[in-house]
Amino acid sequence: MNTFKYFSYGSNLLRERILVNNPSAVFYGIGKLIGYKLTFDTPKDLLENQWYGAVATIRKVSEDHHVWGVVWSLHLENLSTLDEQETGYNAFNVSVLVNGQTVQCRTYEMFMETNGDKRPSPYYLKIVLEGARQNGLPEEYIRLLEAMEHNKNMDPPPKYIKIKEVIERFRQQNALS
């Protein structure tokens, strides 16, 4: 079956999160995207902020910066569901280092005008951190994520609640297996 590689760096680091809309996703490896930096921002005209705060994006900068993430292999049939999930982002291809090899991957960068609030909700940050830990991203990078300032909004966002429900279903299914 035809597949493509996807470099994730935000909430889709978490296996259960990417599987919500993209059931064909399979872990391919830990990736390092050189020449970019991770940042958070809030789209200005987004009608409903499902995370109650800023979300991850990448921005092209100098070659001395990099972003760690997860490379997923997905069936081409999930290309449209991934694009739909990434509303407000431009899709483009990047070269990512995975185990010393260069891999061509699809990734996304926020294109919408933003309102300038660069603080994610604690719940969004928690999902990103869970995914980083789950997939063994470098400890130095995890510490960088842990040090990020959040917006202190303690209301659980709709996306977080949905992901936690999916995680619970996965755990129950695995316990029955």
Q: Which residues are catalytic?
A: 86
80 labelled as ligand-binding?
no
11 labelled as ligand-binding?
yes
Report strand pairing: 66-75 vs 55-60: unpaired
9 labelled as ligand-binding?
yes
Beta carbons within 8 Å of 4's beta carbon, 6+ residues apart: 73, 74, 76, 79, 106
62 labelled as ligand-binding?
no
Q: How far apart are CA 76 and CA 91, in angstroms?
A: 14
36 labelled as ligand-binding?
no
Residue that the structure tokens 């960068």 belong to = 109
Classify residue 173 by burial, with Cβ atoms within 10 Å: 0-12, 13-18, 19+.
exposed
Q: Please check whether residue 107 is in contact with residue 138, taking contact to mean a CB–CB distance below 8 angstroms.
A: no
Strand partners, 4: 74
For residue 68, what are the CA distances in angstroms to 33, 81, 147, 153?
Answer: 6, 23, 16, 26
8 labelled as ligand-binding?
yes
* Binding residue positions for substrate: 6-11, 124
